[in-house]
Amino acid sequence: MLRAETKARARALQMLYAWELTGNLPISETATRLARLTGPDPLVFDRAEALATGVVEAAESLDRETEAAADNWRLSRIGTVERNILRLATYELRLGEEPPKVVINEAVQLAHWFAGAKAPAFINGVLDRIAHSLGRL
């Protein structure tokens, strides 16, 4: 069974993916639509919506930080799922509420579940560099 925190990260990723694909539909509306599909779980959805909202509010600076850490990769060349995993994890690294290794491991797990075969290693490398630049590792 997955921890509530892991489920919340997966739901936040789904919200961010929908947010980006729908042309930046408000996260609250995205969360409502997703809850209708998957069933509401307040413990998961409240945290997921808070994470997704924080990411959306800081998206520009998160993108700059990610692009700086992703050697030779423009953000536009990174897939939508991978880009949003990086945004979410970078946001959590900035918050500092979770140990950086937990944030990175969970992001790599999301990449295993939702992204391509090469994504987990890419995500791990970029987040490791970001965590070091933030002084978290």
Query: For the domain that residue 112 is a member of, what is the CATH number?
Result: 1.10.940.10
CA-based radius of gyration for the chain:
14
Q: Is the pTM of this model over 0.75?
A: yes
Q: Is the dihedral of CA 113, 94, 44, 103 positive or negative?
A: positive
Which pLDDT tens digit goes with each residue over 9-67?
999 999 999 998 888 778 888 877 777 777 667 778 889 999 999 999 999 999 999 99
| Average pLDDT for the chain | 91
Q: Return the number of other C-beta atoms located less than 10 Å from residue 55's C-beta.
A: 23
Residue in the structure block whose two tokens are 């739901």: 11
Q: Return the number of other C-beta atoms located less than 10 Å from residue 129's C-beta.
A: 17
Residue in the structure block whose two tokens are 């413990």: 43
Number of domains in the chain: 1
Domain membership of residue 106 as a residue range: 4-133
